[in-house]
Structure 1
Amino acid sequence: MALDIFVVMIYAAGMLLLGWYGMRRAKTHEDYLVAGRNLGPSLYMGTMAATVLGGASTVGTVRLGYVHGISGFWLCAALGLGIMALNLFLAKPLLKLKIFTVTQVLEQRYNPMARQASAVIMLAYALMIGVTSTLAIGTVLQVLFGLPFWMSILLGGGVVVVYSTIGGMWSLTLTDIVQFIIKTVGLMFILLPICLYRVGGWDELVSKLPASSFSFTTIGWDTIITYFLIYFFGILIGQDIWQRVFTARDEKVAKYAGTTAGIYCIVYGLACALIGMAAHVLLPDLDNVNNAFAAIVKATLPDGIRGLVIAAALAAMMSTASAGLLAASTVLTEDLLPKLRGGKQSSLAINRLFTLLTGIAVLGIALVVNDVISALTLAYNLLVGGMLVPLIGAIFWKRATTAGAIASMGLGFVTALVFMAKDGLDANTPIYYSLTVALVSFVVVSLLSRRQVSAANLA
């Protein structure tokens, strides 16, 4: 494994070097948080796709492909379609606002109290996004290199924390582009063809798997619908994704480059599902299907090439981990910290400090959580259940009130938590019931309370 370790070390060193270069470009508060709002098509497309496709999308979709066949691609498909909808329909009004966080929209439409309440939910979501991909990084390093899990988390996640802290969004953008290229080559042009070759080609794959593995609905309509409720709508309101939208130079860049990123996500999902299907043929008796990705890489690839594909997987995971990390620290410094500092706005130094502290928190949580898809589901259940209804209502329903928004956020958030505790993280009930409770409370409380005068008309 010496050659593989060397390749991965070169990759990690490259990420840190890009982080240092990003630090030199991040000279202002706006540079650090949104890359100066000046990204062109190539940078925007690459960073948008890299942000969405992380540990759960890669490791998780390979696992879903191993278990359910080609229908495992629906997780990535829901994410990709969400990216397309966001950039086609919401990017234009968002770019005009010149804001930093999702919750600032709620303040403009309702009042500062709504911003503070929603910031708590967004912080929980962004933290779990960072945790999810950090977990995936640890899993891959543990299985492939035989490292203790805690060491894998601290080494892999530590690299993310360092480059995110020193350069902010500029570091993330530069590392995302390299990560986008590496994971495209490593997963779609190396691992997938080699897996199909080891199986014996497409015809052999078809003959060795049941017909249900090639149906796009084998995973079940209830799961497909749940993926759309959680991931499609989650993309539309997630701080990590909106923060990338804010980096676009103009609405044309967001529209066309963002749509291309969405299409790429769908293709990526198909590739990862096929890798999982090949893994099922080559390694039919895995003790833990969560390790399907790492196991197939270890079993099929030669030294050196294996290191490149490991780097590709780490690239996917690190891009999303860094996005969640910066999103969480941005919510802290822009939405919550000013309230504690008497309205004083954060500086570049404060941004860096809280990104570091948030990174330490992410590493700590990752050491005690162990399932990447469950962690991702937890994050999106809390986000969608707590914030989808009041945020959409802020944009499209003039009769909405602050009281209705806060009631919806609180009750939706609590309902999601209750049903996740009652029925488990993989159940569909948390998202169904939380959205129902959030919608009913939003409408009823808004109609019963005095209409608030909005600070800005976003309709």
Structure 2
Amino acid sequence: MAVDYAVIIIYLVGMLAVGWWGMRRAKSKSDFLVAGRRLGPAMYSGTMAAIVLGGASTIGGVGLGYQYGLSGAWLVFAIGFGLLALSLFFSARISRLKVYTVSQMLDLRYGGSSSVISGAVMWAYTLMLAVTSTIAYATIFDVIFGLDRTLAIMLGGGIVIAYSTLGGMWSITLTDMAQFVVKSVGVLLLLLPIAVWKAGGIDGMQKQLPDDYFAPMNIGVETVFTYVLIYSFGMLIGQDIWQRVFTARSDTVARNGGSVAGVYCLVYAVAGAVIGTSAKALFPKLDSPDAAFATIVGEALPVGVKGLVLAAALSAVMSTSSGALIACATVANNDIWKRLRRTPPEPAAADEAGGGGGHDEVRGNRVFILIMGLAVVVISIALNDVVEALTVAYNLLVGGLLVPILGGLVWKRGTANGALSAVAVGGTAVVAMMVWKGVLANEAIYYGLLASLLAYVVVSLAGKPTDPAVLAEWRARLAGRTSTGAEAEPDAADAAGAAGAEDAGGKPGSGAPAGV
């Protein structure tokens, strides 16, 4: 085990070192929150795959494979389908907006001030996503070091808080790329073939397991439909996902790089289900499906390889946790705190130059990451099971925000009142159905989405159309043209700064690598 311990410790120290290196490159708000909008296709694809494939996709995906066989891949399939849809149909338009949050997009599109309302919903979602990932450290560190639950959460959470606070999105991007490599090697190249071999190959598993384990819909049609509604649509509107789209240096990178990451998710889905099926053949009487990953790693892998695969599981959790943390802090600071204080936007020149107001912006966002990170650790220690809380957050996110966000992108007749009505009615319907049918009931998301859509269409058609000047501003931003609105000036300057950096031979002024 000494070799396995060494692998894990080297990995954790490496994450902190990358965080320190990233701090030297986060000199402006754009650098800190969206990596200067400079990521090329390779790094963009890797980091996007890292953020969407977390502990639920890795440990949970193997657990579903243990419980349902190959059809356990559907949860991660839904994530991959959502990422493909986002990349192919929406990412180019989202990237051109040059904003920092989903709520800022709503304000641009509808000409209202919905940031506080929509930001509160998005903040709850990202907070609980970070909490869920942080709690997963307890399981992994218990397997690795036998640590107490509280200490494990503090250790894992502390490392993520440290590198996220130091360098913001630059540090998170660099650590996510390292985590993507570790995850790919550990899960796809090592654990998958070894698990299948230990289980006697596909033929051996078919002899030991019921035929249902190899049926594509063994998990249930309704379950698959619910996964698509929650996770595929959730990929389209989550702040943690959009904030990665904002890091792409061009429309083409966002579209093609995201599509590559989506295909990778589909491969990862199959791998997790096959590993889980192998675990069922090898260890048919585990107490919990979620124990399948730790069991097959601990019992089937040789020394050294075991440490690398556990590092892969840890990297999956850390990538989701850090992405959710910076998204939570960005929303809390820019959509809630600044709106409540009515703080004006920083001058574009100061932000892009990395001096004056730029330093203030970086420092303010760094403080919010630290505060939100500490809150996540405290909540994670206090809660034993956040499945219901995460379900509430996802239901509110999709039921309340999906319609006004996608409606704003595809339907020009949608209005600010229609959007606010959709958030309020959809959110209320979701809560009412969860109270009536139970938090985990599928009906909550079904009726929440339907109510939100009806409210959006009816209220939008019943009221006055959106101001033509607002729509003109919106169309200009979607087309990638320079904005005329004062509110958007810092973001337009971000785009100009990124473009200038690329024109200068791919050497951004911040010192960060372009086109990697």
State the partner residue of 1:335.
Answer: 335
- Kindly, what percent of the aligned residue pairs are identical? 50
Aligned partners of 1:133 and 1:372 also within 8 Å:
no
State the partner residue of 2:488.
Answer: none
Which segment drifts farther, 243-252 or 298-307? 298-307
State the partner residue of 1:308.
Answer: 308
State the partner residue of 2:376.
Answer: 362
Question: 1:440, CA displacement in angstroms?
Answer: 1.6
State the partner residue of 2:461.
Answer: 447
Q: 1: CA distance between counterparts of 2:254 and 2:192?
A: 30
Aligned partners of 1:76 and 1:268 also within 8 Å:
yes
Deviations 1:202-260 (CA, angstroms, capped at 9, x unpaired): 21111111111111111111111111111111111111111111111111111221111
Matches within 5 A, 1:403-422: 403-422=417-436
Judged with a 3 Å threshold, the aligned counterparts in structure 2 of structure 1 residues 87 and 38 are, in CA distance, closer, same or farther, namely same
SS in 1 for 2:24: helix
State the partner residue of 2:111.
Answer: 111
Q: 2: CA distance between counterparts of 1:344 and 1:116?
A: 15
Question: 1:344, CA displacement in angstroms?
Answer: 3.2
State the partner residue of 2:4.
Answer: 4
Q: 2: CA distance between counterparts of 1:144 and 1:424?
A: 36
Matches within 5 A, 1:209-288: 209-288=209-288
Aligned partners of 1:71 and 1:214 also within 8 Å:
yes
Question: 1:34, CA displacement in angstroms?
Answer: 0.5
SS in 2 for 1:398: coil
Q: 1: CA distance between counterparts of 2:70 and 2:387?
A: 17
Indicate whether 1:61 and 2:65 are aligned. no
Aligned partners of 1:144 and 1:298 also within 8 Å:
no
Q: 2: CA distance between counterparts of 1:374 and 1:19?
A: 32
Deviations 1:151-192 (CA, angstroms, capped at 9, x unpaired): 211111211111111111100110011100000000111111
Q: 1: CA distance between counterparts of 2:438 and 2:216?
A: 25
Aligned partners of 2:49 and 2:264 also within 8 Å:
yes
Q: 2: CA distance between counterparts of 1:62 and 1:142?
A: 18
What letter matches 1:453 in structure 2? D
What letter matches 1:443 in structure 2? V
Quick one: which of 459, 467, 471 aligns to 1:456? 471
Matches within 5 A, 1:195-206: 195-206=195-206
Judged with a 3 Å threshold, the aligned counterparts in structure 2 of structure 1 residues 418 and 135 are, in CA distance, closer, same or farther, namely farther
Matches within 5 A, 1:5-44: 5-44=5-44
Unaligned 5+ runs, structure 2: 346-359, 476-516
Q: 1: CA distance between counterparts of 2:126 and 2:335?
A: 14
Question: 1:90, CA displacement in angstroms?
Answer: 1.1
What letter matches 1:439 in structure 2? L
SS in 2 for 1:247: coil
Question: 1:380, CA displacement in angstroms?
Answer: 2.2
Question: 1:81, CA displacement in angstroms?
Answer: 1.4
What letter matches 2:292 in structure 1? A
What letter matches 1:357 in structure 2? I
State the partner residue of 2:401.
Answer: 387
Aligned partners of 1:139 and 1:291 also within 8 Å:
no
Unaligned 5+ runs, structure 1: none
Question: 1:376, CA displacement in angstroms?
Answer: 4.6
How many residues are matched?
459
Q: 1: CA distance between counterparts of 2:290 and 2:25?
A: 39
What letter matches 2:254 in structure 1? A
Q: From the CA coordinates, give the structure whose radius of gyration is larger.
A: 2
Which segment drifts farther, 231-240 or 282-291? 282-291
State the partner residue of 1:182.
Answer: 182
Matches within 5 A, 1:76-87: 76-87=76-87
TM-score (norm 2): 0.85
Question: 1:372, CA displacement in angstroms?
Answer: 6.6
Aligned partners of 2:188 and 2:271 also within 8 Å:
yes
Q: 1: CA distance between counterparts of 2:442 and 2:320?
A: 24
Aligned partners of 2:103 and 2:119 also within 8 Å:
yes
Q: 2: CA distance between counterparts of 1:421 and 1:318?
A: 33
Q: 2: CA distance between counterparts of 1:408 and 1:414?
A: 10
Question: 1:421, CA displacement in angstroms?
Answer: 4.2
TM-score (norm 1): 0.96
What letter matches 2:366 in structure 1? R
State the partner residue of 2:508.
Answer: none
What letter matches 2:246 in structure 1? F
Question: 1:291, CA displacement in angstroms?
Answer: 2.1
Aligned partners of 1:131 and 1:375 also within 8 Å:
no
Question: 1:373, CA displacement in angstroms?
Answer: 5.6
Aligned partners of 1:192 and 1:271 also within 8 Å:
yes
Superposed CA RMSD: 1.7
What letter matches 1:253 in structure 2? V
SS in 1 for 2:465: coil
SS in 2 for 1:307: helix
Q: 1: CA distance between counterparts of 2:389 and 2:272?
A: 19
Q: 1: CA distance between counterparts of 2:329 and 2:152?
A: 23
Q: 1: CA distance between counterparts of 2:326 and 2:176?
A: 13
